Amino acid sequence: MSTVAILGAQWGDEGKGKVVDRFAQQAEMVIRFQGGNNAGHTVINDRGTFALHLIPSGIFNPSVDNILGPGTVINPPSLIEEITELQSSSDLSFDRFWIAERAHVVMPYHIALDAAEEAQRGELAQGTTLRGIGPAYADKSARSGIRIGDLLDANHLQTWLPAVLEPKNRLLEHGYGVKPYDPQALIDQALAWGEQLAPHIVDTLPIVDRALSNGLRILLEGQLGVMRDLDWGHYPYVTSSSPSAAGACAGAGIAPRSLDQVWGVAKAFTSSVGEGPFPTEIHDETADHLRETGGGEYGASTGRPRRCGWFDAVAVRTAACLSGIDRLALTKIDCLDALSVIKVAVAYTVDGSRVELAPDTRQLEKAEPIYEEFPGWKTSTAGTTRFEDLPPNAQSYIQAISEITGVSIGLLGTGQHRNDAIVLEHPFSAP
């Protein structure tokens, strides 16, 4: 396989960073295709522990071209800070790090609007990360955004930025009572960002097209999960982009027919950050145990505690349906080691009917999970690297997940480190 998309098959926080970091050792290009610094990927390898917010997880392989695709939205100060921190804490090179000139910029007024709008929603708050992601994507769709390439064009900014800022300032000042932004100050700030990022800003389409023509091994790295998809997630508790396979192609600049394989990443249980229906959520000591094991279930970007629940096969089955998932990477098996009984939601009941694919939000809010129970193994699986070395009950649980979701499992995560994994199948080569 030459071009492989790695997506979240749940609500996000599934362990995509670890999987991409592992597979990027054999890749030649990694492309982040959507999202911004609203969600992070935690990577633990021989260099240390890293929380990546915008930088692709392939940055740890010096032979890889790492690209922020045109489907992303980029907060320049956050990106510059992330680059600086990575360079100061390790010997990482950014000589092969590229930013698509077509990617959109998260401006300071986007962040201000995000906070003001979320505060005004009150009890209807959506649990946004307050990073300005939604307003930036809204401007992109409304054709009033600032793109990364614009940061290199002073003449364009002098004309364009005041025009798009004027209605934002009116809304901030008169709608929310927030101090308006000075256009020239923002222009100066934007040009300074452009000067710092200029060595990395390019037209990525020829780079990606050349890689495809030469048969290079390409990973497309998603953010969040398919259940947060703008169209198919639980609206309005969704992100503002598409974390699906379709979104991967559009956001990276790759034709759908060039996508060879899709991997979905799912935890052996389920977690979610933010508001919205979560059918398998649990609130007892088991939830506390899951939240605190495996490094802790807290958002890599926000630090917010994640809501935890049993494995939701309906969600993963839906993600597989929407994105054509070929293989699952099932992470955090070791977090279940201490449990006596483990549950899997094989379907929902909604108004007395059995449902096997996730319904729309109003129906999901009424969904009751139908559980199948499995015996725990009460034995440590941490660091296990061979399937046959897993306890029999763990093997049975994993095989059941594959059968219930209808997707073969290609990787099992047994710890936080890159090497804490059982690779049953590699997208590029032998394990």
Catalytic pick from 41, 104, 110, 234?
41
* Separation in Å, CA 91 to CA 62, 68, 94, 333, 387: 10, 21, 10, 32, 34
DSSP for 33-56, please give it: -SB-TTS-EEEEETTEEEEESSS-
β-pair type (48-52, 73-74):
unpaired
- Where would I find the beta strands (DSSP E) of 121-227? 201-202, 218-221
Active site annotation includes 13: yes
- Where would I find the beta strands (DSSP E) of 178-276? 201-202, 218-221, 261-267, 270-272
Catalytic pick from 13, 139, 312, 420?
13
Q: Which amino acid is at 363?
A: Q
Phi, psi of 82 (to 5 degrees): -65, -40
Q: Is 267 in a helix, a strand, or coil?
A: strand
Sign of the Cα pseudo-torsion (188, 192, 197, 202, in order): positive
Virtual CA dihedral for 125, 127, 132, 134, nearest 10 degrees? -80
Active site annotation includes 41: yes
Which letter does DSSP use for residue 372 in this model? E
Element (H, E) at 285: helix 285-292
The residues annotated with a catalytic role in the active site are: 13, 41
